[in-house]
């Protein structure tokens, strides 16, 4: 049985069907809000991310690991390349932007598959550090080039200039959102 995820086609506005967009505009106009650019942009970013997750899951369906677990293995491999032979699960949780429970679940599965191993943190014996096994390194080295090539194919509809411009715009948006998160976190502390 072959199962494929369906990516719903986007409307002409790429965000909301026209009748819904009109109702939203009416609601907002009554409150003095003139446009829906923020809704449109952020919903489209989310839609692109969801489509990316679906495409990557389909591409990796028959592989040795799921996309989230591949990203963890890749992060561990990159940490090794930067001189960190092992990292703690909290660091992985932050870099992968998932909860500690989710990281624990993924690490348990990766450990059972023989792709990572835990070691006691000598600096803090209450903690563990995670490292790649030889098999984990082999999975990263075997799978990553194909996955990256697939991602490059997915954006082949963009010219190099469009791709560069999009990266710049998304970085600008990401910085603004991070600044807002930091501002909110600081305000909550005070």
Residue 30 in domain: no
Look up the CATH number of the domain holding residue 102: 1.10.10.10
pLDDT for res 166: 96
Kindly state whether residues 130 and 82 are assigned to the same domain.
yes
Q: Same domain for 71 and 135?
A: yes
Is 5 within a domain? no
Is 101 part of a structural domain of the chain?
yes
Q: Where are the alpha helices (DSSP H) in the chain?
A: 18-29, 37-59, 67-81, 89-96, 100-112, 134-154, 160-189
pLDDT over 50 (residue 10): no
In a domain, 1, yes or no: no
Tell me the per-residue pLDDT of 96-139, one tens digit each, with 9 for 90 and over.
999 999 999 999 999 999 999 999 878 777 889 999 999 999 99
In this prediction the pTM is 0.77
Residues 136 and 183 in one domain: no
Are both 122 and 164 inside the same structural domain? no
Q: What is the pLDDT of residues 69-84, one digit of tens each?
A: 999 999 999 999 999 9
Indicate whether 45 and 100 sit together in one domain.
Answer: no
Domain match, 54 and 99 both? no
3-state secondary structure of 136: helix
Do both 136 and 71 map to the same domain? yes
Look at residue 27 and tell me if it is in a domain: no
Does 107 fall in a domain?
yes
pLDDT at 12: 42
Number of domains within the chain: 2
Other C-beta atoms closer than 10 Å to the C-beta of 75 total 18
- Per-residue pLDDT of 23-50, as tens digits, reads 888 888 888 888 888 888 888 899 899 8
Mean pLDDT over each residue of the chain, to the nearest integer:
87
Tell me whether residue 50 is in a domain.
yes
In this structure, the answer to whether residues 71 and 93 fall within a common structural domain is yes
Q: Which domain holds residue 123?
A: 67-143
Helix (H, G, I), strand (E, B) or coil at 186: helix
Contact at 8 Å (CB) between 73 and 132? yes
């Amino acid at each position: 049985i072959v199962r494929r995820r369906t990516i719903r086609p986007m409307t002409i506005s790429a965000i909301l069907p026209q009748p819904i967009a009109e109702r939203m505009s009416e609601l907002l106009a009554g409150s003095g809000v003139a446009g829906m650019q923020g809704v449109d942009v952020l919903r489209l970013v989310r839609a692109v991310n969801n489509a990316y997750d679906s495409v990557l899951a389909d591409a990796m369906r028959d592989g040795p690991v799921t996309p989230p677990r591949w990203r963890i293995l890749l992060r561990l491999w990159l940490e090794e390349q930067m001189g960190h032979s092992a990292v703690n699960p909290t660091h992985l949780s932050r870099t992968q932007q998932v909860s500690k429970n989710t990281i624990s679940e993924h690490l348990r599965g990766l450990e059972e598959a023989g792709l990572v191993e835990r070691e006691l943190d000598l600096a803090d014996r209450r903690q563990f550090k995670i490292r790649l096994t030889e098999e984990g390194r082999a999975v990263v080295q075997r799978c990553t080039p194909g996955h990256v090539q697939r991602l490059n194919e997915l954006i082949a509809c963009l010219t190099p200039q469009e791709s560069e411009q999009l990266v710049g715009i998304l970085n600008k948006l990401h910085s603004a959102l991070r600044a807002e998160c930091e501002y909110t976190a600081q305000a909550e502390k005070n």
